[in-house]
Structures are given as structure tokens and as C-alpha cells.
Structure 1
Amino acid sequence: MDQTPTLLLTRPVEASDRFAAQLRGVMDARMPRVLTAPLIRVDYAGRLPDMTGVAALVFTSANGVRAYVAAGGPRDRPAWAVGEATAEAARRAGLAPRAAGGDARALVETLTRARPGGRLLHVHGEHARGEVAQKLRAAGLDAEEAVLYRQILLPLTDAAAQALDGGAPVVVPLFSPRTAGQFAAQHRGRAPLLLAAMSAPVAREVAHLPSARLMVAERPDAPAMLRAVVSLLDLAARLEGPEPGG
């Protein structure tokens, strides 16, 4: 029986492809089989407010950047990004961002210390965590928000379900509590399961699953998730699958 580990990627295709490319640069010949099965779809919707008085933009995800561009947002404003991946998306969009420490709390703390003048606009999806605009207002900053995309949950694909019920280990990176909860609700399988969670809230959504290992990234950013996934893939290569018919 083939015991080669499978890396199951559950983010939207573009984000999954980007993560797989980054991992391939680290693992080279050790790169596992990759199966992309998005559990969420991003639909860009919503309208920007009057941008006349907006002095700076605040982004907590690359999806927010893309939604802002899709809505026709002007690119001549300074931008603040939650982490380097979001900042890179903003740079590709023609913005000049500053990156914070990787999560919403660090972003709020960074903005509170910097105290940029003028009105701030936080662009996000309908399912957002961190209450960024509210916390900025509580800190005395002028902040509003715009919901410019929807995150639609998707079922596991047949190929993903088959891999999760097979004999080879499956490594699953999970980047958000909502996606992790969707995965946990649909997981039905006996394959050895190794989970990488981007944060403790993500880990809590899957803590009850019968996993061989649940690892929380050292930091809520892509480099830390890459390190966690590499560690889990090395462990997966040493695991034995379930007995046939078990």
C-alpha cells in the first residue's frame, strides 16, 4: 500500500497554490502529493464608502486587498497590513503598505502607537475577527469599516474524503477558525491525520478530532505555518497507516 503522505490544502485555489509553491521551495524533492480542495469560496461584493475623507487603508487579509481593488478603490492612500503576506498582496496591487506583527491585535497595537492622522478604513469580509475598527475607535482613532467580500463555505470534495479515509497520512494546514470548523464538521476518515493550526483559536475547532498530531504555528504567519507543515510532513513519513479493514 502506498504510504506517501498527502498534503490537503483547503484554502481558495489561489492561496493554496501560493502556499504549495512556497512549500515546494523548501522541500524540493521531498515535496508530497498535493491535493487542493477548497472549503471556502470568496465572493467579492459590497461597495466602498465615500473615499474623500479616507486618509489610510487597513487590511487584515489578502482577500481584503483584492476586494478593495475589485471595488475600484483608489491606490493613492497609505495602507497598513496585518502581516507580510497581506502586505505583499497590497504591493502587488500598487499600494505602499506597512506590515504589522501578523495578527489583528498586533495591527491594532501598531496603529495605536503610530496614531496616523485622518480617517482609517478597514476593509474586510462579512466574517471578520478581531473587531479592528471598534478597537481603533476605542483607542481614539477615527476608523470605519467596509465589508467587501463574502466567504462561502464549501463541502469536502470526493477526492479529499477519499484521501482522508485512505491508508496514507494526510497533513492539513488550517488557517482560520471558520475553515477549521468546516473541516471538523465534515471529516469522516481513518487515515492518520496531522493538523497544522495557524493559531490557538484555529486549533480549538479541531482539537476533538482523532489526529496523530495537532501543531499550532509559533506565529500566525505564513513562514511559521510552513515550518509547522514541514515538521508534520517529516513525521507523517514515519507513520504507519491503519490496518486494512480497520
Structure 2
Amino acid sequence: MTRPRGASERFVAGLRPEIRAALTPIFSPLLQIEPTVEALDFGSAAGLIFTSSNGVGIAARLTADRSLPCFCVGRATTRMAVQAGWSATMAGESAEALIAGMLARRPVTPLLHLRGEHGRGEVAANLTRMGLRTGEQVIYAQRLLPFSDEAQRVLTGDKPVIAPVFSPRTARQFAGLLNGTPTLSVVAMSEAVKKPFENIKLSDLIVAKTPDADAMRDAIEIAVTRAIRVEGRPGAH
């Protein structure tokens, strides 16, 4: 698992019991999430936009203000915002879908996008250009990390390894660190996440049907089934 530890543990906990039983989770975050501000000021914002659970987690720690409605990308981010105390609506499964969903809803503006330093979709700029005045504030950094010692060990071993990868930046880091892994199956959240692995020899490369956690879990089930069929036994990482 290459996401930050908390997000990785929540993802694994959401797998079906029989799938979890076939796997040995190894946590090797390739990104470390660090706040870039000490406090939040929503100013005149009438609503907030979150495009990742990392943004929700950081914002929840930085402010006790839950008065504004939130518009989120994906079910997992929306659930996390609700659990943190916000009134949250899933506006789309990707940044592009969120923009379309916001244009259909026409919420009260201005809006404020709370995001990391690396993002895709230019949400605030595109919404503003299309008539929904939106500002943005970078509230966290994503520092790249190497593989853990345990991850290095299994990636150079002979047992099948399944790696869910959730973002293009993590995908580039992962692919750049690899050094010959014929037993590795990668489960990519989108075509953009898949791209860094296209010229690498892998056991399997699967793209989730939609860019969300539930579809990623479905894709992992496919990867586990294929690995067991090839190996003739469970025990993937």
C-alpha cells in the first residue's frame, strides 16, 4: 500500500474478508502529507471544495469551523468530510466530473478549493472561467518517499505482489523506483495512473473501471483471483 498510512489502513479495512484473507498487507507510503499552513481562513467563501481525503484530513485538524457546505470528489472523500462534521456532497468521481457537477448545481459563490501543492484539473481556474467564482488555498505538501525495507524485500522476492496505485505522481515515483519485478501486478486508479507502468514488464496491469476506492477494491479482487490462478495458491502481498 503506497498511500499515507491512515488512508491505506482504511482502504484495506474496506476489502471483503475473503480477499483480505488472501493478502498480507505491506504499508510503504510513497507520499508524506505535511501541512503548509498553521490555520485556515475561509474569508468570504460560501462553500468548500475537497478533491482528496488528504485535504479533508488536514483541514479538519486546522479548523473547528464546520459551517460551510462541502463539495467533494469521490465517495471516500465525501464520507471522510461527513465524518469530520461537514455537510458534504459528492459532486463527481474526478476533478473533471466535479467541475461538471458544480456547473449543474450552481451553488452559492464564492467557493474555496482546499488542495495539495500538486493537483490536476485546475479546478478553481476552470470553475471561475465558467462562471462560478472559486479561489484556492494550498494547505498541504506531498513529499516523495522511497520504498520501505519490507517493500523492497517483497518486490525482489518470488511471491506475487499486488500494488494499488492511486495518483499519477505516486505512479511515477513507484515506476522510477522499480528494478525488475516480474511477479508484480499493478492496479491503477485511472489511465493517467497506468501510464508510467506501460513500458515496464509486469505480471499484470489493471485499471479500475472508475476512479474511486470501491472500483479499486473490485480491481484488486480481479488481481487476487488472477494471481491465485497463476500461482495455484493464496499468499499475495
Verify same fold: TM over 0.5.
Answer: yes
Q: Does 1:37 align with 2:28?
A: yes
Change in Cα spacing, 1:58 to 1:107, as seen in structure 2 (3 Å) is same
Deviation at 1:240, TM superposition (A): 4.3
The answer (yes or no) to whether the contact 1:10–1:37 under 8 Å persists in 2 is yes
Which residue is equivalent to 2:235?
none
Q: Residue 147 of structure 1 aligns to which amino acid in structure 2?
A: V
Q: Does 1:129 align with 2:120?
A: yes
Deviation at 1:238, TM superposition (A): 2.3
Q: Aligned to 1:22, which of 9, 14, 20?
A: 14
Which residue is equivalent to 1:12?
4
The secondary structure found in structure 1 opposite 2:46 is: strand
The answer (yes or no) to whether the contact 1:161–1:187 under 8 Å persists in 2 is no
Using the TM superposition, name which of 182-191 and 197-206 deviates more. Answer: 182-191
Q: Does 1:117 align with 2:108?
A: yes
Change in Cα spacing, 1:27 to 1:190, as seen in structure 2 (3 Å) is closer
Deviation at 1:74, TM superposition (A): 1.7
Which residue is equivalent to 2:183?
192
The secondary structure found in structure 2 opposite 1:17 is: helix
Change in Cα spacing, 1:16 to 1:171, as seen in structure 2 (3 Å) is same
Change in Cα spacing, 1:193 to 1:234, as seen in structure 2 (3 Å) is same
Structure 1 residue runs of 4+, over 4 Å off? 47-50
- Given the two structures, how large is their TM-score scaled by the length of structure 2? 0.93
Q: Does 1:157 align with 2:148?
A: yes
Q: Residue 30 of structure 2 aligns to which amino acid in structure 1?
A: L
Taking every aligned residue pair, what percent have the same amino acid on both sides?
40
Using the TM superposition, name which of 118-127 and 39-48 deviates more. Answer: 39-48
Q: Does 1:86 align with 2:40?
A: no
Which residue is equivalent to 1:106?
97
The answer (yes or no) to whether the contact 2:40–2:59 under 8 Å persists in 1 is no
Count of residues in correspondence between the two structures: 232
- Counterparts of 1:35 and 1:192 in 2: how far apart (Å)? 15
Deviation at 1:92, TM superposition (A): 1.2
- Counterparts of 1:189 and 1:157 in 2: how far apart (Å)? 17
Q: How large is the RMSD of aligned CA atoms in angstroms? A: 1.6
Structure 2: state its 5+ residue gaps.
233-237
The answer (yes or no) to whether the contact 2:40–2:63 under 8 Å persists in 1 is no
Change in Cα spacing, 1:69 to 1:190, as seen in structure 2 (3 Å) is closer
Using the TM superposition, name which of 147-156 and 191-200 deviates more. Answer: 191-200
Which residue is equivalent to 1:239?
230
Deviation at 1:233, TM superposition (A): 0.8
- Counterparts of 1:223 and 1:26 in 2: how far apart (Å)? 16
Q: Residue 63 of structure 1 aligns to which amino acid in structure 2?
A: N
The answer (yes or no) to whether the contact 2:182–2:202 under 8 Å persists in 1 is no
